Amino acid sequence: MTEKKAYPLRISAIVLDAMQRWSNDELRSLNAQIEFVLREALRESGRLKPAPKAHPLKDDPH
């Protein structure tokens, strides 16, 4: 699991309200939705590598 860091975010009320509605629709917390949207934007712009996929045999305990 990656390290999480706290960061105070100043955001307009309009954007925050829209993000809250979106997070409610997606059944995510507001924080998780903001992180999801940022991560997707970073991936689409090529600024974030995709998370490595786990090897299927290594994760199987049997």
Q: Give the tokens for residue 40.
A: 């997707």
pLDDT of residue 26: 96
Flag whether 24 is in a domain: yes
pLDDT for 2-61, tens place per residue? 789 999 999 999 999 999 999 999 999 999 999 999 999 999 999 998 777 776 666 556
Q: What pLDDT, on a 0 to 100 scale, did the predictor assign at position 17?
A: 98
pLDDT reported for residue 25: 98
Flag whether 3 is in a domain.
Answer: no
Query: Domain tally for the chain?
Result: 1
Whether residue 62 lies inside any domain: the answer is no
Does residue 25 form part of some domain?
yes
Token output for 50: 């995709």
pTM beyond 0.85, yes or no: no
Please give the residue range of the domain that contains residue 21.
13-50
**Residue 8 placed within a domain:** no
Overall residue count recorded for the chain in this entry: 62
Q: Is residue 39 part of a domain?
A: yes
Q: Is residue 34 part of a domain?
A: yes
Contact 21, 11 (CB under 8 A): no
